[in-house]
Amino acid sequence: MFRNQILSTLRHGLGYCTKYPLTVALRLVQGFCVAHLFNEYVGGFRLVQGPSMMPTFSPNPEMRGDLVVAVSPRDPRALVCKRIIGLPGDVVCVDPTGEYAPSTEHVYVPKGHLWLMGDNASWSRDSRTYGPVPMALIRGIIVARVSRRPHV
């Protein structure tokens, strides 16, 4: 019975598509336009992969600073998820871990730039390797975390 209802609905939908193809095409174009505008100006979903932000995605209330999504300065086709460490005019420690530079080395963050760093410093390529990031590369601020339910 349920199968018959599904088939009937599909036949009706296909009949509508063949009877009014321009209306269906217009609705599809409108839907894609709305989705594009929402994704570009309001917000969207992004898949974050890799170990560079690992501590953030496990509960850790001691982390401070906003999380942002930015275009990678190394690969303009890629997006990166990093934490803002320094704002324009700040003096920040280049590498608090001492892996890339002595922990006593500091840098001035120029106007229109941010200093970004991954929470998992040993696995992160961030401002320690490519320097201050222009604000124009920032695509958005992360405001929520959605994750899959762990497998049981």
Is residue 41's pLDDT more than 80? no
Rounded Cα–Cα distance for residues 93 and 108 (Å): 9
Find out whether 136 and 121 touch, Cβ atoms under 8 Å: no
Per-residue pLDDT tens for 12-23?
Answer: 665 666 667 788
Find out whether 106 and 115 touch, Cβ atoms under 8 Å: no
Give the burial string for 13-45 (b: 16+ CB within 10 Å, else e): eeeeeeeeeeeeeeeeeeeeeeeeeeeeeeeee
Per-residue pLDDT tens for 81-129?
Answer: 888 988 888 898 888 877 877 778 889 999 999 999 888 877 888 888 8
Find out whether 117 and 85 touch, Cβ atoms under 8 Å: yes
Average pLDDT rounded to a whole number, residues 131-151: 79
Query: Mind telling me the catalytic residues?
Result: 52, 82
What are 115's strand-pairing partners?
Answer: 86
CATH code that applies to domain 66-141: 2.10.109.10
Domain range list for the chain: 1-42, 66-141
